[in-house]
Amino acid sequence: MVRPVPAARTDKVVLIGGSGFLGRGLRDRLVSDGYEVVVIGRGETAQRTGWRDVHWDARSIGPWADELDGAAALVHLAGKRVDCRPTAANIAELIRSRADAVRLVGTAVAGRSRRPSTWVQLSSLARFGDTGDETIDEATPPPDDGPPQQVEVCRRWEDAYEEASSGVDRRVLVRPGITIGGAGDPATAQLARLARLGLGGRVGSGRQWVSWISATDMFAVLMRAVIDPTMAGLYHATSPDPVRNSALMAAYRAAVGRRFGLPSPSRLTTAGAWLMGSDPALALTGRRCVPTRLLAHGFHFAETDLHDVVAHAVHAGRTAR
């Protein structure tokens, strides 16, 4: 990867919602690089080895807001997981946990005498819904219509960020693909389990595109967004080589040692997703997204072989148990 010029170090990075898979990985890398890290989340306020946890309720301004004062960067990762049934109540809660939380942070930032100089905000490539075989990059206008748990939630999320971050000097919006790799990777936990049970065949037609990124590369993107002063605006954090769903499932079968997996037709996938409390659109829709702006910035993807990435992710999941 082309080495970015580091931003002036005030050493403090605040992670909103830093207790999940991405937050923990980014936290550990920041701590390893010598940053003062504050994780704002639902846990109790406590001093940890290398970082501090600070409690918030995601609904009101509290002592946590003082942590934003003078921070080099704010990284906002908070939000309810989308792996839930697409009911009206769940969609409303997804919007609240994302858009309302972003607006709350924006209010806290506006009240600081020394605002964070950078705000890195997570979104999702699900903003595009289902796009068939069209190649999508940062210049592609996202649709207004589509699966509401994807398109509407992400639209409201990004609109809230545009408004809330308006007073911050440098803003970086990151839309990641499915992140694969490392202990605690939720995608691998679910897909590897299905493959081991003999259910790792294609989902629906199997032709829907999957935009994916290795955890190693995802953390590198987030780290660069924090420290590189030339990085601003929207970026797609996804491998240059999206794959079909059938190829993704084949990679997981290979990783767990299964030669065959029963396919899951669309109707069966829909019924199974509802029984498991999930959204069938997560598996039945797809996007062929590419990282045009990251490549233009000279970002080097270290891991682009899907089979290798999935194999390492499955191994990490086994050793972590």
Please name which of 192, 195, 198 lies closest in space to residue 318, comparing C-alpha atoms: 192
Alpha-carbon gap, residue 297 to 171, rounded angstroms: 16
Digit-by-digit pLDDT tens for the chain (321 residues) are 444 444 444 589 999 988 889 999 999 999 999 999 999 998 899 999 999 999 999 999 999 999 999 999 999 998 888 888 999 999 999 999 999 999 999 999 999 999 999 999 999 999 999 999 999 999 999 998 888 889 999 999 999 999 999 999 999 999 999 999 977 889 999 999 999 999 999 999 999 999 999 999 999 999 999 999 999 999 999 999 999 999 999 999 999 999 999 999 999 999 988 888 899 999 999 999 999 999 999 999 999 999 999 999 999 888 766
Please name which of 43, 225, 208, 31 lies closest in space to residue 117, comparing C-alpha atoms: 225
Alpha-carbon gap, residue 315 to 219, rounded angstroms: 19
* CB-based contacts of 140, cutoff 8 Å, min separation 6: 128, 134
Q: Is 260 exposed, middle or buried (0-12, 13-18, 19+ CB in 10 A)?
A: exposed
Q: Is 102 exposed, middle or buried (0-12, 13-18, 19+ CB in 10 A)?
A: buried
* CB-based contacts of 214, cutoff 8 Å, min separation 6: 179, 180, 181, 239, 301, 302, 303, 304, 309
Query: Do strands 51-55 and 46-47 pair parallel, antiparallel, or not at all (unpaired)?
Result: antiparallel
What pTM was estimated for this model as a whole?
A: 0.93
Q: How far, CA to CA in Å, does 126 sit from each of 136, 143, 175, 241?
A: 12, 11, 8, 17
Alpha-carbon gap, residue 305 to 123, rounded angstroms: 24
Residue 180 bridge partners (DSSP): 214
Per-residue model confidence (pLDDT) at position 88: 93
Q: And the tokens for 223? A: 């780290």
Per-residue model confidence (pLDDT) at position 182: 78
Per-residue model confidence (pLDDT) at position 318: 81
Fold of 12-320: Rossmann fold (3.40.50)
Per-residue model confidence (pLDDT) at position 3: 44
Alpha-carbon gap, residue 28 to 1, rounded angstroms: 20
Please name which of 126, 128, 75, 83 lies closest in space to residue 102, comparing C-alpha atoms: 75
